[in-house]
Structure 1
Amino acid sequence: MTATEIVISFFVVAGGFLSLLASIGLIRLPDVYGRTHAASKSTTLGVMFIMIATFLFFLLVQGEFVGKILLTIVFVFITAPVAGLMIGRSAYRTGVPLWEKSKQDDLKKMYAKKTKQT
């Protein structure tokens, strides 16, 4: 096994592991806020690692530079966390309750002030 194959294999396995963690988080976490956290963080890194492995495979093994894969990595890096943030914010603003064992609600004071001003 060459060094190139080892590096590519590492990225594929790490990406698959992070995607597996995200899937477990979606099933096991108790509320929408934890689930969006698992989906946005772990899945973003998992997809990015797999796309890096794909880019390296085409570059180092096939000898082709595929810029579209780099653009995919950039767009996933930018859009997935923002989408998770927006889903969590929308859920909070529409009144989706936190998990009953949650001890701290950092946004409660901020949104209480905004509703008093308007």
Structure 2
Amino acid sequence: MNHLNDLPPWMAILIATFLIIGSTLALLGSVGLVRLRSYYQRLHAPTLSYSYGTLMTILSSILMFSYLETRPVVHELVIGVFVMITAPITLLMLGRAALRRDQDAKLAHEEAVPARETLRASPAGKLIRDVKRSGHPEPSPDQPGP
């Protein structure tokens, strides 16, 4: 890699700084993905850090190749734009899918298990209370007697 010897120390330090910041942000996103507990928290941690980590890495690449080739090299910005656009959209879509899944599961659970208040207010709830108290059901005014 002889072309790296052409970099002055101040440019190498600047490029290394951007690269270290970008890789640290990506590492923090990975740690957040592993350490956070809920699915929704895990969605948020890597999205921002991967986006900005990629941006810093791309900036270091642009600086290095622009200096070495003595012309502006900006085609890496296309990669950065796609990452900055797709990461939040992916977060949004995954979050909505998870929210819909959780709402469907909650609805299915509520339909399968009736609420206690509904059971208490129903004639069946009165029958259950009467059986528990006396051992045999008492006729209610709504139901015809024997």
Q: TM-score, normalised by structure 2?
A: 0.60
Q: Note the C-alpha offset of 1:84.
A: 1.0
- Identity, in percent, stands at 36
2:135 counterpart of 1:91: no
2:40 counterpart of 1:33: yes
Structure label with greater radius of gyration: 2
Distance 2:34 2:75 in 1: 32
What are the Cα deviations for residues 29-68 of structure 1, in whole angstroms up to 9, with x where unaligned? 0011111101111111111111111111111123354332
State the Cα RMSD in Å: 1.6
2:69 maps to which residue?
A: 62
Match of 1:4 among 5, 11, 23: 11
Distance 1:67 1:7 in 2: 17
Aligned residue type for 1:27: V
Count the aligned residue pairs: 96
Counterpart contact for 1:22–1:43, Cα < 8 Å: yes
Distance 1:24 1:66 in 2: 32
Distance 2:71 2:43 in 1: 36
Higher RCO, Cα 8 Å, sep 6+: 1
Q: Note the C-alpha offset of 1:26.
A: 0.7
Aligned residue type for 1:75: F
Match of 1:16 among 15, 19, 23: 23
Distance 2:81 2:31 in 1: 25
